[in-house]
Amino acid sequence: MDFRIGDEQRMLADSVKAFVAGEILPHEELVERQGFVPEDLFQQVKRKSIEAGFYALNMPEEHGGGGLGSLERATVEVEFGRATRALQMICNRPAPILKACRGDQIETYLKPTIRGERMDCFALTEPGAGSDARAITTRAVKDGDDWIITGSKQFITQAMRADYMIVFAVSGVDETPRGPRKRMTAFLVDKDSAGVSVAPLKCVSNRGLVSTTIGLEAVRVPSRNILGEEGLGFKMAKAWIFSGRVMLAANCVGLAERAMGMAATWANTRTAFGQTIGKFQGTAFKLADMAMNIHAARLMVFDAAQKMSLDCLSQREAAQVNLFASEMVGRVTDEALQMYGGLGIAEDLPLQRFWRDARVERIWEGTSEIHRDVISKDVLAEFAV
């Protein structure tokens, strides 16, 4: 495949890069220090991203979104990945699963979200169901024309600011040849509904992003708020997760490139034993490994994005790109920090933040272990005798 960037794609990348440099990077230290994004800053970045045309780039053009294809989205995510997630996520790329909105849902949820009037959050993970999504215990029980949802969610980002949540719940059980299987359904749940509670979780990664727990206590939701079809939530979630894994990998490339740039600048200017440290093989070879791994990850991202656009990306390929890129950014940020020595862990420099933020990449879009399980099973099946 030809992954050379065309003129339009290069202009898009340059525009987003300039926006990130001018409107996001100057505020990173404030957000890191306070542990949250102040409301006035949130509204400022949101307004400017809408004005620049960088809001809801992943949503359908016919509903007011940017309508970007998978390759263009990957290009954008590399550039946004250079910035702290708490700020770059203000330039909202709503959950792709919202494309399943139908009827009144389009006017009530999809279009206002695209315009920046409402904000969504994706609520699947639970205290007892992370990698094993089918283990969720949040339940939805039919009651006339409504559903009563009870349960809890954990590690949900954007819930503090969201107006509504995409909540996954068990709505029944199907009997299959392999035994009973939970029927999962996605619901659009307004956050101000009676019985909904949201509380922050303090995490070492992405301090300003604010992860949360969500409580759902007998929350009444009308049947018209089912997203897609009853019982098909898991199928839709898997499609969203594939896209998320590729775009997160693109973010990892951007952060790794920023860390490598700082490391290379340091190697060219820091002196020890009478010469710049970049002249020592022990340092120079670290940079060579960084460049090689970043390039490989970038190629994997754009290969996967191309296959997404052709609707032929496999589960194995989505796992491979996310696994490689998430582990790559961990290695690159760690080596960059190491090159700075004691200064690397000083809070005056952003490297320690890159290092902390990179750690969660191996967890939240599928753990490294789950990815290896998916990949290895597919390889064994391919060469079964």
Phi-psi region of 158 (alpha: psi -120 to 50; beta: other; left: phi over 0): left
The span from the CA of 9 to the CA of 69, in Å, is: 11
The one catalytic residue in 126, 257, 327, 365 is 365
> What does DSSP assign to residue 199?
E
- Do 339 and 267 meet the contact criterion of CB atoms below 8 Å apart? yes
- Count the residues in the chain: 385
- Do 236 and 228 meet the contact criterion of CB atoms below 8 Å apart? yes
Q: Which two tokens stand for residue 342?
A: 């004691």
> What does DSSP assign to residue 82?
T
Residues near 246 by beta carbon (within 8 Å), at least 6 away in sequence: 70, 74, 301, 304, 305, 308, 313, 318, 321, 322
Alpha-helix residue ranges (DSSP H) falling in the chain: 7-19, 28-34, 39-52, 70-80, 85-88, 104-105, 111-115, 233-269, 281-309, 315-339, 351-359, 368-382
| Nearest CA-CA partner of 256 in 290, 283, 205 | 290
327 catalytically annotated: no
- Which residues form the catalytic set? 365
